[in-house]
Amino acid sequence: MTAKDKQNRFNSLLILGIIWLLGALCDRIWFALDRSVPAWDQADYLTGSLNYWHALQNPQWFNQEWWQSFWLLSSKIPPLTYIVTAIVQNIFGIGPDQATLMMLLFSAILLTSVYGLGTVLFSETVGLWAAALCQILPALYDFRLEFLLDYPLTAVVTLSFFCLTVWRITLNKEKEERGRILPHSPPLSLPHSLPPLLWAVAFGLTFGLALMVKQTALFFLLTPIVWVGVGALRHRRWGRLLQLLGGLCFSVLVFGPWYRTNWLIILTSGKRATIDSAIAEHQPGLDKLESWIYYWNQLPYQVSLPLLFVPLVSLLIWWGRSKFASENPKLETITSSKANQQNSSLTWLLVFWVGGYFLSCLNINKHERYVLPYLPVLTVLLAYGLTRWRSLFGSRVRWGTFGIAVILMLLNLFPVGGVVGGWVTQVLSPNAQRYPYMKEELPHRQVIAQIIQTEPHLRSTLGVLPSTPEINQHNFNYYGALQNFQVYGRQVGTRKKYVDQDGRSLEWFLTKTGEQGPVKEAQAAMVKTVEQGGNFQLNKSWNLPDNSQLMLYHQQTPTLEVRQTSQQNSQAKIALSQVIVPEKAPPGVPVPVSYEWSGSWDELQHGLVLLTWKNKNSKWIHDHGIAMGTLHPGAKKPEGTFQVIEKMAMLPPSTVAPGTYTPEAIYLNRLSGESYPVSVPKVTLQIDAQATATQAPELDLVSQLETLGAQLPKGTEAVSQVFEEVGRINQYDAIQDYLVQARLTLEYRLQHFTPNRDWAYALALANVLQRRVEGAIASLKQVTHLDPENPYAHAYLAFVQLYNWQPAAAQKSLEPSLAKNPNLPEFRVLSGVAGLMQGDFVKAWKDLSTLRK
């Protein structure tokens, strides 16, 4: 590269930096003016970034269990955006404005990639214009102001496509230098320093990164990958094919760990995210023309009319003149070789765009942001069209079009144009207006602060009953996470049959007058239960800008009470000072019980208690975490000694023998594993079938889980009901700590007491729900020993082994199940999947054919 070339490259990069900087200034001014709260998806993604930020505060790089839990933090959505945002927030602090700083990084990646793409395919001029257009395209500036995954996906997909393009061109360049290049190869103006193999590796790594942003990256990169692969096969370019496959293998190193950990959730959640959502939104099916032209109709809005039509008309005129010139040698102004090169570049861009368009159309759940990744490639085409004319007239058209687009962007982003500006944008750039919200800030932070002030030592779950863009469970969950993850927002009251249980299971509810959002029929019953049922009282209310009112309700008789009894830290062990139960209770019915614990903060916070109610003939257990695991230190760990009062319910089994029962207690520290007996005050409970049941609160979640685990021996009939109930109770404990409580206490019991079949099933269920694969396999093996004649026990073990990619072990585990019931479809399907994973396609076909029946 000559000194002049170096200077030109430096000037181009300087211009590219200015383009990025101007866009960044515009975005940050908008964010500085905006006082809105994030809507549903945006708040959910912001919370995901905080989860990874929290995990990265104390990383354990060489701990396999830490990596397992790290990948499980986001089970349905690939976590790259979360991880990048977590790093950004670790530098600049946490909060919605700080989180959006990561968009500047992805914007830099996008502009650099588009510049590189335009440069290697056409010229540096095209590359710079394409980068500039990316800053002023309505769809792109709109979604870089939203904390969503689509803009980061667009940046990384464009980067990956750029690497694939350079790799493909570099190989052609090498063949050209050897005199063996095929005709119609694209022109080259690219970094010559890296060999093709390194570009193949770069493509593989960036392809893996794209799949770690969102699975739909495949919609846009699959077609060019197949195009290159088929071309290599057709021309027998085995070296090229091997490099492509090698690059794809490198991509597996990037995306493999997360997908391997979460593959089952990805498959099961895919239907809800596409088909179910499309049905709920009444979107047309693939048999309708509207489904195939939806994104075509969106294109003028995504690009704006001036940026769409002026470059395309310019390109068509230039293409017509070129065709005419090629047929008249005296007028020919462009060489045949250069024309072929440019046509090849245009074809390559169209392969990407058309492939991305049609594969996106196959997703019946449609939204204009889902095709954002093909727009940067479109800007290269538009920039190519704008730069076809080098005359003074062409320059004026080019800069005039760009200037109009910049003005439209400013009018769409800031309320500065008045009535005239609004009319102009509706004509030339419709559906792109996004003004910052500059009214009074909504009271989300105040609601969270009120809950923490009322219960400063507890982790709370807030039932959010309305679901509007401004007031919904996701954004309250996010603002609760900003306060040291002390308050979690959840949407309950969505099913009529669970309304009563929802009302008894949560301490806090949020209701609203006026607009409720797309809530379900049961929501009205839930609101009535909270506001008029008598169990809740209004804690505080706020007036909203739309003249509606937001109301925070708290349970009149709290389930948990935490009091500080001394300022001095005590080394004394945990004490149980009082147990209150009715004199008599019938079996099989929840019994109200109150426990009063005292001790130091650390002992209480990390404490689990194994409670056994027993007599000479029978017993039942009531294990749980102290305060049900909800003790929360807040911003600063409390000092001194505390008292915790729990008002709960326990469940004597329906098979328990009549008689008088007394409790025994063992303390277990969940962190250190230390255990010791706890003295219990004198108290008795008489189980009598003729006794009148006393009204009791809802069972604690650990007891509910153990009850569900006892249903698993029934097999298929019970499994669907078990997981439906689990979905319900998971809403009450936002971090599913009840699973940890159940797992640790049941492990202790199975190790130190006579093994019990129901305990083993409940432990297996807790492990499965936490996706602790090794623990689930170990506990299910114990289940098969305790319940060897139950074919479902062996099938459960086989299922988890298949999940862990152990088909041979799963096939062996299934043998007792198939021996007892060889025709049960569920067993045959598991056997077929095991055969398929082992490459035994004949067996897989034979077993999986039962699905057709």
Is residue 511 classed as helix, strand or coil in its secondary structure? strand
Give the end of a domain, one of 682, 699, 716. Answer: 699
Nearest to 428 by CA among 297, 301, 296: 301
30 in a structural domain: yes
Lowest mean pLDDT among 322-326, 665-669, 798-802: 322-326
188 in a structural domain: yes
Give the residue-averaged pLDDT of 616-623: 93
Q: What is the pLDDT of residue 842?
A: 86
Residue type, 182: L
pLDDT at 603 over 90: yes
User: Taking the alpha carbons of 205, 210, 215, 218 in that order, is the dihedral positive or negative?
Assistant: negative
Q: Grade residue 417 by pLDDT with cuts at 50, 70 and 90.
A: confident
Q: What is the pLDDT of residue 275?
A: 65
Query: Do 24 and 111 belong together in one domain?
Result: yes
Q: Grade residue 374 by pLDDT with cuts at 50, 70 and 90.
A: very high
**Whole-number percent of the chain with pLDDT over 90:** 78
**Whole-number percent of the chain with pLDDT over 70:** 93
pLDDT at 65 over 60: yes
The CATH number of the domain holding residue 535 is 3.40.190
427 in a structural domain: no
The CATH number of the domain holding residue 806 is 1.25.40.10
Q: Are strands 549-555 and 584-585 parallel, antiparallel or unpaired?
A: unpaired
Query: Do 629 and 758 belong together in one domain?
Result: no
pLDDT at 849 over 70: yes
Query: Do 169 and 203 belong together in one domain?
Result: yes
Query: Do 145 and 96 belong together in one domain?
Result: yes
Instruction: Show Cβ contacts of residue 811 under 8 Å, excluding neighbours closer than 6 positions.
Output: 798, 831, 834, 835, 838
pLDDT at 654 over 60: yes
- Higher-confidence residue: 355 or 533? 355
Q: What is the pLDDT of residue 187?
A: 45
Q: What is the pLDDT of residue 216?
A: 95
Q: What is the pLDDT of residue 848?
A: 83
424 in a structural domain: no
Q: What is the pLDDT of residue 184?
A: 41
406 in a structural domain: no
Query: Do 551 and 653 belong together in one domain?
Result: no
- Higher-confidence residue: 169 or 851? 169
258 in a structural domain: yes
Q: What is the pLDDT of residue 182?
A: 40
Query: Do 532 and 658 belong together in one domain?
Result: no
Give the residue-averaged pLDDT of 401-411: 96
Q: What is the pLDDT of residue 274?
A: 65
Q: Grade residue 753 by pLDDT with cuts at 50, 70 and 90.
A: very high
The CATH number of the domain holding residue 647 is 2.20.130.20
Give the residue-averaged pLDDT of 663-691: 95
Query: Do 198 and 333 belong together in one domain?
Result: yes
Give the residue-averaged pLDDT of 1-28: 90
Give pLDDT tens digits for 688-706: 999 999 999 999 999 999 9
Give the end of a domain, one of 640, 670, 699. Answer: 699
Contact 42, 142 (CB under 8 A): no
Q: Are strands 536-543 and 549-555 parallel, antiparallel or unpaired?
A: antiparallel
Query: Do 684 and 725 belong together in one domain?
Result: no
pLDDT at 656 over 50: yes
437 in a structural domain: no
Domain total of the chain: 4
Instruction: List, as one string, the DSSP characters of 376-397.
Output: HHHHHHHHHHHTT--SHHHHHH
Give pLDDT tens digits for 303-358: 999 999 999 998 888 887 776 666 665 544 555 666 677 888 999 999 999 999 99
Query: Do 548 and 568 belong together in one domain?
Result: no
* Phi, psi for 79 (deg, rounded to 5): -100, 10
Q: What is the pLDDT of residue 347?
A: 93
Query: Do 140 and 197 belong together in one domain?
Result: yes
Angle at 687 between CA 686 and CA 689, to 5 degrees: 135
6 in a structural domain: no
Give the residue-averaged pLDDT of 1-9: 77
Q: What is the pLDDT of residue 749?
A: 96
Q: Grade residue 272 by pLDDT with cuts at 50, 70 and 90.
A: low
Q: What is the pLDDT of residue 514?
A: 92
Q: What is the model's pTM?
A: 0.92
Strands (E) located in 449-590: 460-464, 487-490, 508-512, 536-543, 549-555, 560-566, 575-580, 584-585
- Higher-confidence residue: 473 or 191? 473
Q: What is the pLDDT of residue 286?
A: 85
Give pLDDT tens digits for 164-195: 999 999 887 666 555 544 444 444 445 555 78
Give the residue-averaged pLDDT of 653-669: 95
For the chain, what is the mean pLDDT? 91
Q: Grade residue 278 by pLDDT with cuts at 50, 70 and 90.
A: low
Give the whole-angstrom CA distance, residue 142 versus residue 298: 14
Give the residue-averaged pLDDT of 227-231: 94
Please name the residue that has the structure tokens 């029978």: 618
Query: Do 212 and 255 belong together in one domain?
Result: yes
Give the end of a domain, one of 493, 522, 555. Answer: 555
Q: What is the pLDDT of residue 179?
A: 52
- Higher-confidence residue: 340 or 237? 237
Q: What is the pLDDT of residue 540?
A: 97
Q: What is the pLDDT of residue 183?
A: 40
Query: Do 583 and 656 belong together in one domain?
Result: yes
- Higher-confidence residue: 242 or 272? 242
pLDDT at 268 over 90: no
User: Structural domain of residue 747, as residue ranges?
Assistant: 702-852
